[in-house]
Every structure is written in C-alpha cells, then in structure tokens.
C-alpha cells in the first residue's frame, strides 16, 4: 500500500479550472463583452469607490461571500470613520442653596430649564 508522496497521474490535472478560475474568467468575459458599449463608458466615469461597490454586489450575486467580505473590508475606511478617544476637560461649579440670593436662584433655574429644553 502506498504511503503518500509523489505518484504519477495523481492530483488535479495541470491547467484545469477551479471555482475561482471559472469566476475570474466569467468576469473577464463580461468586461470584454462590454467594451465599447454604454456600460463600458459608464465604468470609465465611475469613481474607484463605485467600482468597488459594483464588484462587491457582483460577488454577492455569484455567492462569492469571501470575496465580497474582502471588498467590503477595503471599502470600510472610506465609509465609516474610526472611533477616537476624546479627552474632555470640564469644570463644575457647586453652590450651597443657602448661600445664594433670589436673583442667583432665578438665574440657575433659567439655565436649568434652557438645558432641559435643548435636551429634548
């Protein structure tokens, strides 16, 4: 019994097509069929981001989920900004109600109502 290694005639024949070769040939055939047509002119006017969107939608149509995910990964930085850490410096004033006079209390009440209105 054979224990592995090279055997004459075994394996996939050289030059035979696999799934990605077939898909790539289909894309090339579609592009060549469109040369000189209105669609070809449309591609010439597309931005690189629009071309990537088209490629991703085509990959989804042919069930190439791995390729579509890869294309989506290329598109993400252009569409979604990264979240950044933001340092906030704030100061808070505290007052004892007993130390405030009527005009200061009225001013604080007006500020509080304005803040409440802007929150809604």
| Comparison of pLDDT for 57 and 14, the residue scoring more | 57
pLDDT tens column, 48-95: 788 888 888 888 988 989 988 988 888 888 888 777 788 888 888 777
Which sign, positive or negative, has the C-alpha torsion 54, 55, 61, 66?
negative
**What would the two tokens of residue 68 be?**
């579509």
pLDDT at 106 over 80: yes
- Domain membership of residue 36 (yes or no) is yes
- Domain membership of residue 47 (yes or no) is yes
Q: What is the pLDDT of residue 104?
A: 85
- Domain membership of residue 103 (yes or no) is no
Q: How many domains does the chain have?
A: 1
- Domain membership of residue 12 (yes or no) is no
Q: What is the pTM of this model?
A: 0.39
Question: Is residue 71 packed enough to be buried (19+ CB in 10 Å), middle (13-18) or exposed (0-12)?
Answer: buried
- Domain membership of residue 56 (yes or no) is yes
- Domain membership of residue 34 (yes or no) is yes
Highest mean pLDDT among 1-15, 25-39, 59-73: 59-73
- Domain membership of residue 24 (yes or no) is yes
Q: Distance between CA atoms of 106 and 112, rounded to whole angstroms?
A: 10
Q: Return the ∠ at Cα 69 (arms to 68 and 71), rounded to 5°.
A: 65
Q: Which domain holds residue 29?
A: 20-79
**What would the two tokens of residue 1 be?**
């019994």
């Amino acid at each position: 019994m054979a224990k592995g290694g090279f055997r004459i005639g075994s394996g996939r024949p050289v030059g035979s097509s696999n799934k990605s070769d077939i898909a790539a040939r289909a894309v090339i055939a579609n592009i060549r069929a469109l040369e000189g047509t209105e669609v070809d002119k449309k591609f010439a006017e597309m931005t690189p981001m629009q071309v990537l969107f088209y490629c991703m939608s085509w990959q989804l149509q042919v069930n190439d989920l791995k390729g579509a995910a890869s294309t989506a990964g290329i598109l993400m930085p252009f569409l979604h900004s990264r979240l950044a850490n933001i340092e906030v410096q704030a100061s808070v004033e505290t007052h004892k109600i007993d130390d405030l006079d009527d005009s200061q209390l009225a001013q604080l009440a007006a500020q509080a109502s304005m803040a409440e209105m802007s929150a809604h």
